[in-house]
């Protein structure tokens, strides 16, 4: 079987090794702060200048500074990990593409790149990069990524393109295209962008904001290098990467050597007659040897050739793994902040057979890879539960991403809505309710913003009652979100978790699966849909209801304190009936007091 070690295949020939000075710990800290500040400023400016709510409200973007070897020196601490993590891979992909095409960098170049088989996370996540030159010398890259509303796919919006049959159907593909060359704007590329993208005013505005943010990063990095000298900056960066590497190695080393496996499933296309498109296995095997860890996805279902739920190995699968490992092993709530940089990846080795869902072969489509990637992360957490039981949660409730659009002035309005999931129960505490999960961490868009600017109305948004996985610490609750069209339009959706409920752990019960429904004003019947549907026309009044899965329980529900069960009943997270059935806690339906004796006998 052919295996691929991404860090090897994607590594470009490193710049010639420098003799770096030895640096004292004080200077290392000083430069850590400075690099961090640069990335933060890039992100701050990108979020504030951008137009689409997916960037400015949902924060689905990333910003980072890389050295000349594409090692990430610092990332913007807000925005989402799924955009931040892939940046080094984007830049390696850019360099690979340029080498293949015989292209070279010049001062003043700006690169546009979104090719999912060259490091990009998926097509809508456009990367903009600037090579940083100091005089003649290329010393690093200033890079931003952002999710764009549209990239000219077969149907409006950049999510829910679940019927794309190959990479071409997903929209425009850019492989290291210069949108500025030697400081001169490549007007023809920009014209082409405007001509081939829906809602181009918004999308092009967002790309311009990315360019401006990259320029800030370039300028600040040059200022830093002028101030301290390149060797000192690089030496400090090496110290920081070594530090992050050391921290993760220490954490891995504490875990017993061995092999730990877990399996998860994705819905795929539940309404498709073809069995190879649904109920797809994700297999994760973690092997720990000393301070090294190998994550092997062998056993994962084969790729789906003509549906876009395949996951780019670089940019999605690797990020799902890195983010989960770091969240479990270096949890920022439990320990000091470890700088997020390329050092963290050094002890981690990822293996996925070519041709499986987690390492597809071009031109298999990948645009709807987000939710399957979350199951890779979730399944990895399940494997880690065997060695780090106090640092994991029960299974997470996956998210959904919806594109809403309609006509305006011979163009489109396009809106993208991300619906949250939930976390499973945790050691000592219940799961988080109604949050984005694992490698994604976006924000919802305020209802009042949506209603003031779009022909949409959010007609319901609240938690689901009585549905979380029972456990000593129960799973988190998902949400119900109803969005109604006020004008004709269309929508498409990609999600996961309609069939496979989040797993319970250590005796906890499974959570509940999610759902997708259409409430049509002309029909009494609620239309039940699977977790994905391609673009469909809508009439005014049509309402899409998304229901998130609720997280799995942690530990035996009979061990849950009756007092906590009553609290949940008082808050209507749980009914009196479920308290009895799931927790064997007997509560008087009128006084809501625990019947201690009945509870004790039931719990025997």
Partner 1 sequence: MKLIGVDIGGTFTDLILADVAQQQTWIHKVPTTVDDPSIAMIEGIETLCQMAQADYGDIEHVLHGTTIATNTLLTHDGARTGMVTTKGYRDIVHIGRHQRPQHYSIMQDIPWQARPLVKRRDRKVVSERLDPKGETLTPLNEAEAKTAILELKEAGVESIAICFLNSYFDARHEERVANLAQELYPEAFITTSASIFPQFREFERFTTACINAFVGPKVKRYINNLSQSLKKQSVRGELHIMRSNGGVATADVAGEQPVTLLLSGLAAGVLGGAAAGTQSNRDRLITFDMGGTSTDIGIVTERGFAEATARDTWIAGYPVMVPMIDVHTIGAGGGSIAYVDTGGAFRVGPRSAGAEPGPVCYDKGGTEVTVTDANVVLNRLDPEYFLGGEMTIYPEQAFAAVQALADRMGLDLHETAAGILTIVNNNMANAIRSRTIQKGQDPRKFALVAQGGAGPLHAAEVALSLGIPEVIVPRYPGITSAMGLLTTDLKHDLIQNEFTLSTEPNLSKLNADLQSLEEQVKAQLRADGFSETDMTLQRFADCRYVGQGYELRAQVPGGILDETVLQSVWQQFHDLHTAEYGHAFPENPVELVTLRVTGTGPMPKLSDFPAPAKGDLQDAWLKTAVTYFRVNGQLEKYSTQFFDRDRLPIGAHIEGPAVIFQKDSTILLPPHSRTTVEPNGNLVIRVTDDSPIDKALEMATAQSPA
By CB under 8 A, name the one of 155, 342, 441, 584 that touches partner 1. 441
By CB under 8 A, name the one of 33, 183, 488, 541 that touches partner 1. 33
Q: Are 224 and 34 in contact (CB under 8 A)?
A: yes
Closest distance to partner 1 from the beta carbon of 45 (Å): 5
Residues 442-461 that bind partner 1 (CB under 8 A): 442-444, 446-449, 451-453, 457, 459-461
Helices (H), 476-595: 562-570, 576-583
Contacts with partner 1, 389-408, as mask; x by CB under 8 A: --xxx---------------
- 522 CA to centre of own chain: 37
d(CA 403, CA 489): 11
Query: Which of residues 452 and 563 has its CB atom nearest to partner 1 in the complex?
Result: 452
Residues 408-437 that bind partner 1 (CB under 8 A): 418, 420, 423, 426-427, 429, 432-436
Query: Which of residues 457 and 536 has its CB atom nearest to partner 1 in the complex?
Result: 457
Residue corresponding to tokens 């008087």: 588
Using CB under 8 A as the binding rule, whether residue 370 contacts partner 1 is answered as no
Segment near partner 1 (CB under 8 A); pick from 38-46, 300-308, 523-531, 549-557: 38-46
Helix (H) or strand (E) run with residue 537 in it = strand 532-538
d(CA 426, CA 439): 18
Q: Are 80 and 63 in contact (CB under 8 A)?
A: no
Using CB under 8 A as the binding rule, whether residue 597 contacts partner 1 is answered as no
Using CB under 8 A as the binding rule, whether residue 463 contacts partner 1 is answered as yes
Q: What angle do CA 246, 252, 257 make, to 5 degrees?
A: 140
Using CB under 8 A as the binding rule, whether residue 133 contacts partner 1 is answered as no
- What secondary structure does DSSP assign to 383-407, as a single string? HHTTT-GGG-BSPPBP-EEEEEEEE
Contacts with partner 1, 548-587, as mask; x by CB under 8 A: ----------------------xxxx--------------
Which residue, among 384, 398, 386, 263, has the nearest Cα to 330 in the 3D structure? Answer: 384
Using CB under 8 A as the binding rule, whether residue 462 contacts partner 1 is answered as yes
By CB under 8 A, name the one of 7, 12, 40, 602 that touches partner 1. 40
Query: Which of residues 60 and 267 has its CB atom nearest to partner 1 in the complex?
Result: 60
Which residue, among 368, 399, 573, has the nearest Cα to 502 in the 3D structure? Answer: 399
- Of the chain, the end-to-end C-alpha distance in Å amounts to 53
Closest distance to partner 1 from the beta carbon of 194 (Å): 14
Contacts with partner 1, 484-513, as mask; x by CB under 8 A: ------------------------------
d(CA 483, CA 454): 11
d(CA 409, CA 167): 30
Query: Which of residues 14 and 33 has its CB atom nearest to partner 1 in the complex?
Result: 33
- 509 CA to centre of own chain: 26
Q: 494 has which bridge partners?
A: 401, 532
Parallel, antiparallel or unpaired: strands 348-353 and 292-296: parallel
Closest distance to partner 1 from the beta carbon of 243 (Å): 5
By CB under 8 A, name the one of 6, 10, 34, 175 that touches partner 1. 34
Helices (H), 104-257: 187-196, 200-228, 230-253
Residues 203-222 that bind partner 1 (CB under 8 A): 205, 208, 212, 215-216
By CB under 8 A, name the one of 153, 285, 398, 479 that touches partner 1. 479
Closest distance to partner 1 from the beta carbon of 542 (Å): 17
Residues 302-341 that bind partner 1 (CB under 8 A): 323, 326-328, 330-334, 336, 338, 340
Instruction: Give every CB contact of residue 148 below 8 A, 6+ residues apart in sequence.
Output: 52, 54, 124, 125, 126, 158, 203, 206, 207
What are the C-alpha distances in Å from 525 to residues 519, 520, 521? 8, 8, 10
Burial level of 349, CB count in 10 A (0-12/13-18/19+)? middle
Residues 52-91 that bind partner 1 (CB under 8 A): 52-53, 56-57, 59, 77, 80-81
- Between the CA atoms of 61, 195, 536 and 522, what dihedral angle is there, to the nearest 10 degrees? 100
Closest distance to partner 1 from the beta carbon of 600 (Å): 26
Closest distance to partner 1 from the beta carbon of 23 (Å): 11
Closest distance to partner 1 from the beta carbon of 190 (Å): 14
Return the DSSP state at 116: T
Closest distance to partner 1 from the beta carbon of 332 (Å): 5
By CB under 8 A, name the one of 7, 20, 49, 598 that touches partner 1. 49
Q: 137 has which bridge partners?
A: 134
Closest distance to partner 1 from the beta carbon of 305 (Å): 34
Closest distance to partner 1 from the beta carbon of 592 (Å): 10
d(CA 189, CA 178): 8
Closest distance to partner 1 from the beta carbon of 318 (Å): 16
Give how many residues touch partner 1 by CB under 8 A: 92
Residues 173-202 that bind partner 1 (CB under 8 A): 201-202
Helix (H) or strand (E) run with residue 447 in it = helix 447-453
Query: Which of residues 181 and 482 has its CB atom nearest to partner 1 in the complex?
Result: 482
> How many residues belong to the chain?
604
Segment near partner 1 (CB under 8 A); pick from 130-138, 158-166, 438-446, 506-514: 438-446
By CB under 8 A, name the one of 11, 27, 386, 520 that touches partner 1. 27
Helices (H), 254-330: 318-329
Segment near partner 1 (CB under 8 A); pick from 66-74, 100-108, 355-363, 387-395: 387-395
d(CA 231, CA 166): 45
Burial level of 7, CB count in 10 A (0-12/13-18/19+)? middle
Helix (H) or strand (E) run with residue 53 in it = helix 53-56
Residues 223-242 that bind partner 1 (CB under 8 A): 227-228
């Amino acid at each position: 079987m052919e295996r691929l070690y991404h860090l090897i295949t994607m590594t470009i020939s490193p710049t010639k090794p420098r003799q770096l000075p030895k640096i004292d710990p004080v200077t290392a800290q000083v430069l850590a702060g400075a690099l961090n500040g640069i990335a933060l400023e890039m992100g701050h400016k990108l979020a504030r200048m951008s137009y689409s709510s997916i960037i400015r409200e949902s924060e689905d973007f990333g910003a980072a500074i890389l050295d000349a070897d594409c090692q990430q020196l610092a990332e913007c601490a807000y925005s989402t990990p799924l955009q931040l993590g892939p940046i080094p891979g984007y830049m390696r992909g850019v360099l690979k593409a340029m080498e293949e095409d015989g292209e070279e960098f010049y001062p003043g170049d700006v690169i546009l790149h979104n090719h999912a088989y060259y490091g990009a996370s998926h097509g809508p996540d456009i990367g903009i990069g600037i090579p940083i030159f100091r005089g003649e010398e290329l010393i690093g890259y200033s890079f931003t990524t952002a999710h764009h509303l549209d990239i000219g796919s077969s149907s409006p919006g950049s999510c829910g393109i679940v019927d794309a049959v190959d990479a071409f159907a997903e929209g425009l593909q850019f492989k290291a295209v210069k949108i500025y060359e030697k400081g001169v704007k490549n007007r023809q590329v920009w014209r082409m962008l405007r001509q081939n993208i829906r809602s181009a005013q918004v999308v092009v505005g967002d790309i311009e904001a990315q360019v401006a943010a990259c320029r800030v990063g370039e300028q600040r990095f040059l200022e830093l290098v002028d101030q301290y000298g390149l060797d000192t900056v690089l030496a400090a960066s090496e110290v920081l990467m070594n530090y992050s590497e050391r921290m993760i190695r220490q954490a891995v080393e504490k875990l017993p050597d061995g092999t730990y496996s877990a399996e998860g499933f994705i819905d795929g296309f539940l309404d498709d007659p073809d069995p190879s498109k649904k109920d797809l296995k994700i297999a994760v095997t973690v092997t720990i040897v000393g301070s090294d860890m190998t994550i092997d996805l062998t056993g994962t279902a084969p790729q789906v050739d003509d549906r876009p739920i395949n996951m780019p190995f670089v940019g999605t699968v690797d990020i799902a793994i890195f983010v989960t490992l770091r969240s479990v092993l270096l949890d920022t709530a439990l320990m000091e902040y470890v700088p997020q940089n390329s050092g963290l990846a050094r002890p981690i080795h990822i293996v996925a057979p070519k041709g499986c869902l987690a390492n597809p072969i071009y031109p298999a489509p990948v645009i709807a890879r987000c939710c399957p990637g979350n199951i890779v992360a979730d399944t990895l957490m399940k494997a880690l539960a065997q060695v780090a039981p106090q640092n994991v949660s029960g299974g997470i409730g996956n998210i959904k991403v919806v594109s809403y659009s309609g006509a305006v002035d011979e163009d489109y309005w396009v809106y993208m809505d991300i619906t949250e999931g939930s976390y499973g129960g945790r050691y000592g505490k219940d799961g988080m309710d109604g949050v984005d999960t694992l490698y994604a961490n976006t924000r919802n868009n305020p209802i009042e913003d949506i209603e003031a600017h779009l022909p949409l109305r959010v007609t319901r948004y609240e938690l689901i009652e009585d549905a979380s996985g029972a456990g000593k610490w129960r799973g988190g609750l998902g949400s119900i979100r109803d969005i109604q069209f006020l004008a004709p339009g269309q929508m498409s959706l990609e999600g996961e978790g309609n069939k496979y409920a989040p797993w319970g752990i250590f005796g906890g019960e499974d959570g509940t699966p999610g759902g997708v429904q259409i409430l049509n004003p002309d029909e009494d019947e609620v239309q039940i849909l699977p977790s994905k549907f391609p673009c469909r026309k809508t009439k005014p009044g049509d309402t899409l209801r998304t229901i998130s899965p609720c997280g799995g329980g942690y530990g035996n529900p009979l061990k849950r304190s009756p007092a906590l069960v009553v609290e949940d009943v008082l808050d209507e997270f749980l009914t009196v009936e479920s308290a009895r059935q799931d927790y064997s806690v007997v509560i008087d339906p009128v006084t809501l007091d625990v019947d201690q004796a009945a509870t004790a006998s039931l719990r025997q």
